[in-house]
Structure 1
Amino acid sequence: MRRWLAALVGATTSLVLVSLLVPLALLVRSVAESEAVDAATGAAETVAVAAGSVDEEALRLTVEQVSASTGDPVTVFLGDGRTLGAPADRSPAVDLAARGRSVSALAPGGQVILMAVHGAPGGTAVVRVFLSDAALTRGVRETWTVLLILGVSLVALGILVADRLARAIVRPTTALARVSHRLAAGDLAARATPEGPPEVRAAGLALNHLAGRITDLLAEERENAADVSHRLRTPLTGLRLEAECLADPDEAARIEARVDELERAVTAVINGVRRRSRERAECDAAAVVADRVRFWSVLAEDQDRSVLLDLIPGPLTVAVSTEDLADCVDALLGNIFAHTPEGTAFSVRLSRTDGAVLLTVSDAGPGFGAAGPPRRGESGAGSTGLGLDIARRVAASSGGSLALGRSAMGGAEVRVNLGTA
């Protein structure tokens, strides 16, 4: 923007200066020519006075003095055909002046001033003063140079002033952009300092108001989530009491364990929502994945599913929290149990690749099919697409990515690339 404003002011200033300085330069040249002609006319009059009142020797001396003082060649054509002063050809213009008319005419390399002198000895004499082109434009180049320097200086000054004005606008605008990027990154404490022109200050105040409003809305949502947690604990407590009343101790213990898992999941969700900002967390991926596969292996054994767990020796520190990575693994393994028949084998592999940690979950089920995996919020074959979306968000939060494909076992394969801490 600063360059654009500087270019605009430079172009505008240049056009104004050209429209002013070009006529002024032409006027300077015209004035210089007029002054040169006036000076030559004055010199010719001085010689004409001498030609009509003094003898030939005094006239010769006068011609030499005038020519020396003005720097212009002076010639006197006497009535008897002789010449005094600078040698010059007798042109038709001289013959015209000899008839009693004082004229000026163009000559090669300049201009001549011809003045008739009546009453001179021997008849009408003609005084000729030659003005060269250099004499006609004496001082013009110097004046033009000064005008050019003045014009360039004014353009540079205009560009400098425009740059300062643009800077006064661009600096607060850039500061507003930085604050908006900080807000977008989750720094809700970022605020703009209103400065600059009134419009930019108004934009800064509006951005601060928007940030405050977002903070208030998030705080309200966190409190609503806290209320949800209290509402959920009552039915969970009732469910735990019902499980304790079961006659089969093993069945009661298993249901109580599931209730505990559900309560921990609800608590983790509530705590995640209530966090003011999601800080950069770390965890040992090998330990988390091994723990979650161990949990799901109990259900896999009941459904006659073979489980292949391939973990490289840890620790493998990744840039996600333990709860988030556990949710990711649970979502992927839960999809296998929900969308593949009992007895379908699956595998979980954890490896290191290109400075990242790769979590690969494969199964021998039917795969994603021709329609591909469901998108978030779309139902299809009993799926809402939330499981894959959870894994995708966990990968993105660590600086990684998620990829889908077909496994070597014939079913679906999900590759979660997790960024290292």
Structure 2
Amino acid sequence: MRRRLINSTLAVVLVVIAVFGISLVIVETRTIESSAEESVKSEAVRLVSIVDSRLISAERVESGVLREQITPDRYARIDIPGRPPIEIGTRPGGGVIAATEKGEQGETVRVEESRATVSRELGRTLLVILAVALLAVVAAVFLAVRQANRLTAPLTDLAETAERLGSGDPRPRHRRYGVPELDRVADVLDNSAERIARMLTAERRLAADASHQLRTPLTALSMRLEEITLTDDPGTAKEEAAIALAQVERLTDVVQRLLTNSRDPKAGSAVTFDLDEVVKQQIEEWRPTTRSEGRAIVHSGKPGLRAVGTPGAVSQVLATLIENSLMHGDGTVALRTRVTGNQAVVEVTDEGPGVPPDLGARVFERTVSGRNSTGLGLAVARDLAEADGGRLELLQGNPPVFALFLSRESDGHAQG
């Protein structure tokens, strides 16, 4: 493209120089020839006037007197009746420019100039025109190369940007080139880069959240299946199988919620549900794990609370808090339900050392963890709580008290 731009610019410049150069040569040729003819004629008129005045005053008319009255490179012949002709200068050969004038005393004056003089003058003019044309061509080459570089360099840069986007590097470059059309392309590429970056971030976040949210139900389901394989009591096996089916339903709910959020993050599925049922379900699911670690899980507080939210999401939040207590805490894991204003609250605490003071304000940030964990659990739990209008807070650092706040069903709605 660079060579094409240079060639097209030079072609335009050469055409313009050729058109105007030829026209200028024609005009200058005619001007020089006309000027030479006018000069010769003017000299003939002046010379015949001098001869007339000398003849009238009876002065001598000879070549020595008249030689100084004509240009040295011209030839003049004066014919006076009854006298021999007077010649001044050397008569030119070849083509000449001549002018003849007749005086009042009957004399005739003829002045001639060689066309070679006009040709020399025309040659000098052509050399000047050619020099100007050559200078214009050099300037055009310089400008064409500069303009081609100005246009092709941004295009090359934009091509590299597009290639980087295609190779998975969505960082916008924010470069502009001073050319509106190219700047518009750069704007589009930068906007595309930002959209791709947001999409990749969302996909990575979805993958991380999915792996974390699916891990807890799968772990619980695995424990129930192990309980079934280890028992010989049909009643116990039946009870564990029912719990395992509940875990499968919960796992299905988690997958469905992840798919829904990936299509439309604003879509909610909040309903009114029995908070005691969700808390009881979590205690039943985690009791084997706490028992195997020599710990206990208990529930206390106000019974019969009904909250507004997504039961599966609330279960996932409570599971994360319980798992967090088992991983980082110590002693009994306690769940307590209470009411504050128009909100139902579920508190999860244990007897461990709690959250370090330096992590208290950042405990819900992604990748922030007090031990060698992913740091996603509490961040995902807070997102789940906020998705249906609730919130998750750390009320106390030592011992740790995490509280899940949910909108509570109004009395009027409950009665209806």
TM-score normalised by structure 1 residue count: 0.45
TM-score normalised by structure 2 residue count: 0.46
Structure with bigger gyration radius: 2
